[in-house]
Chain A
């Protein structure tokens, strides 16, 4: 029997189950222990597993990531949290080089089995430094997976899979989804990393999205249906590994591609996917690709302005209509 739980409960369950299953799994980060996380995602874990396995760290992002690498190469499987995904830049060298490249640089003598949890996204007033979706920042640093969960079932199944993976996984959780409810299968629910999920079948246009943009894409698809446009929605579940086969298969059917991301339009995952399709599958397209993303401005702190900057389901809808007109 699937249960209906929230995205944050799903993450909490994944952590709890994996920590119960494997004593090498430890949780660490700012305020993740005694407080249960500033977004209330990790309550109960400290009480259940104690201070050694639910570690409240100093405000030291380089230590959180670099220290987790040191733990991962010496027999533990840390799940480290940066309080905001934006802080990936405070720990840039540790994330992009130590976490992602330690194995390669040392000739494969280590595995780095760690997960870096990264609460991302704009939620109304966080400002330019607490609202970003910096998933694509990892793209030019091979060696880690980039996973983004769009719903509670995936949040649980992908996080459990990430913890069991011997590779470092950057695991993005959208803060605006923490309260989202959804059905989550019972039992040891695992979701394969790097496998796309077709959320809605369609024949006229493919909307590729991940994270919070998946929900907005589904909403757009519903509206488009009313106007006689059949949109397929493909959730990539992250950016690396990227299920290009699934993307190509979908556009082979529809001939049209919209890629929706919450990050500013330039330099994001959408640009990368557009480039891949242009290089490898251009002949499948009947119309130019459209990227939908935030405006190329810093996310304003004023929530009214923030709402104007972020991509909406209406933006996706308009993009689809413009393609089919």
Chain B
């Protein structure tokens, strides 16, 4: 079970991620950031609950939905705004412009494969690397129900099973691969695949961030003890469209309304108060602090310098 401090940290990080995303939406509205963003509302419980089970030296391969996992891993908020503004404050100092290629090696954030699913293989390599180097680092790799159906998953998962890699696959199953539902596109349950590869599979409801953390902590502990990989299937909800501005005509009203009752941030807030971790005033203070930190980061990131043509051929070769 999570302790009080962990629960508060999870809530603070989820709330911060939500505030970060709202601030990004404002930057998009102002025309300062490109509108190609895949909102993470609804998956904060999964991304924060799982990532906070990692250490700074552990590796993260995040997915495209939201920024909660990257924020939870410790990448500074200002740098993340800089990435979306495409300016010198970004982790890529303006070379990337958006979520796909945020990287922060000091915090173990190894970047992302733009072709989703490609990160599964990079993650397998990172996990094999820590095993060969005899460190106790764990690698966590997020992807959605859509990317779970790529062949890359099979090759990575098979290696993870064969070599008992310290690797955790987190499948965020929000039921939708862009516009195609899981029922239409997937045979069997994702969590059951783990058995076929010879490692542990756990299913958890992402509406309960604290439960996600418990499952992830067990997986991390197993990996660190050399007991191999885990596949965690987290049921998440997509509270928004696939991308900012997606009209979601393929989705029923009932589905969207049901999803709205599964907001992990709303549920975690109620739980904190119910358990007596914080009272209403304490939660409100935390939220104000988080929002203030986000607003400061957004303002500080704005004056960054856009890259000029001399950056185009920089870093192609070492």
Contact = CB atoms under 8 A, between A and B. Distances in A.
Interface of A: 26, 52-53, 55, 57-58, 60, 62-63, 65-76, 78, 93-94, 97-98, 102-111, 113, 142-143, 165-167
Contacts of A65: 121
Contacts of A53: 132
A69 B122 contact: yes
Given A66-B124, A67-B121, A70-B121, A109 B105 contact: yes
Contact of B316 (A62, A67, A104): A104
Contacts of A67: 121-122, 124-125, 128, 156, 159
Contacts of A63: 121, 124-125, 155-156, 158-159
Nearest to B83: A107
Contacts of A66: 118, 120-122, 124-125, 152, 155-156
Tell me which of B104, B113, B121 has the highest count of chain A C-beta atoms within 10 A of its own C-beta: B121
21 contacts: A52-B132, A60-B158, A62-B121, A63-B155, A66-B120, A67-B122, A70-B122, A73-B105, A74-B130, A75-B129, A78-B125, A94-B118, A94-B121, A97-B118, A98-B113, A102-B122, A103-B317, A106-B92, A107-B95, A107-B96, A108-B92
The size class of the interface chain B forms with chain A is 35 or more
A19 to B, nearest CB: 13
Nearest to A68: B125
A109 B316 CA distance: 11
Contacts of B126: 70-71, 73-74
Given A67-B159, A76-B129, 11 more contacts: A62-B151, A71-B129, A73-B111, A74-B110, A98-B118, A98-B121, A106-B91, A109-B104, A142-B316, A165-B318, A167-B317
B115 interface: yes
Contacts of B118: 66, 93-94, 97-98
B315 interface: yes
Contacts of A55: 128
Nearest to B132: A52
B315 A108 contact: yes
A71 B91 contact: no
B253 interface: no
Contacts of B121: 62-63, 65-67, 69-70, 94, 98
B124 A107 contact: no
Contacts of B158: 58, 60, 63
B132 A57 contact: no
Contacts of B318: 103, 111, 113, 165-167
A98 B122 contact: yes
Contacts of B92: 106-109
Contact of B314 (A68, A74, A108, A143): A108
A58 B124 CA distance: 13
Contacts of A75: 129, 133
